[in-house]
Structure 1
Amino acid sequence: MNLLSGEYECKLDPKGRLVLPAKVKGSLPEETGNQLILVRGFEPCLVLYPRSAWRVIHEKVMALDEFNEEYRQFQRNFLRGMTEVELDSIGRFMLPRTMLRYAGIEKEAIIVGIGNRCEIWDPERYDNFLIKDQQSFSKLAQKFLTTPDAASTNPLAA
């Protein structure tokens, strides 16, 4: 499995298109081709999935019981605005205006590779969501990578 990683500063063109960085494009699974799935993130960012990664997420969301009100609310909010985007010959794709407003992206963006997906952030918002205190970050690493539960479910834990 190809892993998406790194941070890339990008500029939107006047039509609201963003060029997918070559390293990100090169890490996409071959079966993705030129089509990716764009959704709103849980934080104020956009999330870009290769088709294979989206398929896994989509199946989990659609498997929720539609007769349960909380599940329906989750499905509705998670899937709203979901759109397929297509890379053109130079790797650009259109970001819908509603998505740009949601993420607060105007002229510049940061694309962050996070394993099976990329997040697209307004640079200032991204900076505000990062952990600034190294001690807090260290505690999270300890919590998620060294606890007995983490070791059984996390491939990074030794």
Structure 2
Amino acid sequence: MPFPNRTSLPRPVHGIYVRNVLQSCGGHFAAAWAEAEPLPAGHPDGFEFVNAVQPVGPRGERLPEELAAAFAQGLRLAWHAGDGARPGIVALVRLVDARWHREDSTPRAFRMTGELAALEISRCVSEDRDPRPVLRSSRQPYLPWERSMLGVLSD
């Protein structure tokens, strides 16, 4: 089913990383890794989201479903805005990993992280480039897993 206002993702985009952490206000911690692929023809919505985050941590906790749903909602809001300012993207997005905190991670933080991921995916396609880490709040020191990922030796 074609979507006149939406553009099909022309190629897969792997390795999207978004960190959305604000230290000054509680309830705002989210880090996510995602990948996007062109959506097979015939999907009725033009958007599909898969939560592929494996259990992490010593207790094997899964990402709470409301946080994964908020990430998907952020993607949908960024791409399928009702104001028509941005064209929609037809894609399958897979959330492959995430970091969260019981007290400091909220649906709002993950929704914003999803929006930032959608914007980075769109930029990668329009600029024909590989993804770059999206680190919201540049004053925040690098997190432990970012040091090796970004090649940072010290802050």
Question: TM-score when scaled to structure 2?
Answer: 0.33
Question: TM-score when scaled to structure 1?
Answer: 0.32
**Higher share of residues assigned helix:** 1
